[in-house]
Amino acid sequence: MKRHVDKNRLSAATHWKYLAGLCLGLALLGCAAHPAHAQNLVTACGQTLSAPGQYVLASDLDCSGTFATGINITANKVVFHLAGHTLSSTDCDLTKGIEGIAVAGTSGVQIEGGTVKGFNDGIDLAATKSRVNGMTVTSACEFGIALSGAGNRVDTSVVTLSGEDGIGIGAASGTHIESNDISWNARVGVDISNFSNNNFIENNIINSNGLTGGQGGVAIFNGTNNLIANNTLNNNFNGIEVESPNNTIQANTVNGSVGDGIFVLTIASPTVVQRNVAMGNAVADLSDDNPACSGDTWKKNIFLTDLVAGSPDGGPKTGCIR
C-alpha cells in the first residue's frame, strides 16, 4: 500500500523553511517562530543600563583617564554579557567612585563572561539575588569584588592582584562564594565584615593572599553564622583568621601559611573548627588564643602543630585542639 502524502502540508513546510531563511538573511523583525531575546550593545565607558534586558559588551573598553565608573547597572533583571571582552581602567583614586561595574539597589542582575581590569573596585555589587560568574577580575586598586545585600552569588570566577581584598563581603547575608580562584590579593582573599551573617564560602581555591598586606586567605572580621567549608588554601599569610563569634570552619585544606593555618582570636569564641587538614604552616597549623580553647570546639582535624593562648598544646592527641 502506498503511503498517502499530504501535498498541502509538504508545501506549507517548504514555504516556512523558505520564509525562515529569508528572515535570517534579511534580519527582518518578528519573522522567527521563536524569536531570541533582543540584545543591547554596550559600547561606551560610563554607559548606564537602566532597563531590564540582555546587554552585550561590543568590544574591549579602556576607560583610563575618565576617573569614573565604567558601566552602571540601575535596573532589575539585567544580564550583562562581557562576551570575552575586557573593561579596563588604570585610574585609582579612593576619594572618587571608580568602579568597573557598579550595581546599585537592584535585584536579579547577572554579570558574566569577561574581564574587568583595574579601577578602584572591579565590581561593586550592592544588590539582592544577583550573580557574578565566569569572570576574571584583576588588578583592582582596592577590592576585586565588593558585595552587599542579600542572596548574591559569585562563582566560577578568577579574582586576583587586588590592592586590598579579593572579595569583600560587607553588610551582606546569604552570599555564596563558590568554585572560584581567589589568589594573589594584597590583604585578604575573602573578607567578611560589617555585620555580615549567614554567608557561605565553599569549594574555592584561595592561594597566596596577604603576603604584602599581612592578613591571609579568609578573614571573618565581623559576622556570625558564616560557613567556611571545603576550600583549598595554600601559601597565604594566615590561612583562615576568625575574629567574630558563632562561625564554622569545616573541611578545609590549609597548607604552607607564613603564619598560622587556622587562627581563632579570643573575641571569636564560640567558634567550631572541625574536619580540617592543616599541614606545614610556619607558626602553627591550628591556633586558639583562648586559654583551654574556652568556648571553642575543635574536633576531627588533621594537623601537626598547635598553639593555645600562645603556647604549644601538645599536638593532635593532647590538649583542647583535636
138 touches 114 (CB < 8 A): no
Residue 266, sorted as left (phi over 0), alpha (psi -120 to 50) or beta, turns out to be alpha
Total of domains in the chain: 1
CA–CA gap between residue 220 and residue 192 (Å, rounded): 5
CA–CA gap between residue 42 and residue 267 (Å, rounded): 47
Q: What range does the domain containing 2 cover?
A: 1-36
pLDDT tens column, 58-116: 999 999 999 999 999 999 999 999 999 999 999 999 999 999 999 999 999 999 999 99
30 part of a folded domain: yes
Closest-CA residue to 82 (of 136, 121, 151): 136
237 part of a folded domain: no
21 part of a folded domain: yes
291 touches 316 (CB < 8 A): no
E strand or H helix that includes residue 135: none
CA distances from 317 to 93, 98, 322 (A): 52, 52, 7
**Percent helix / strand / coil, the chain, rounded to 5:** 10, 45, 50
pLDDT tens column, 138-174: 999 999 999 999 999 999 999 999 999 999 999 999 9
284: pLDDT confidence band, cut at 50, 70 and 90? very high
- pTM of full prediction above 0.85: yes
141 part of a folded domain: no
pLDDT tens column, 8-32: 333 444 433 433 443 344 343 333 3
E strand or H helix that includes residue 124: strand 121-128
28 part of a folded domain: yes
143 part of a folded domain: no
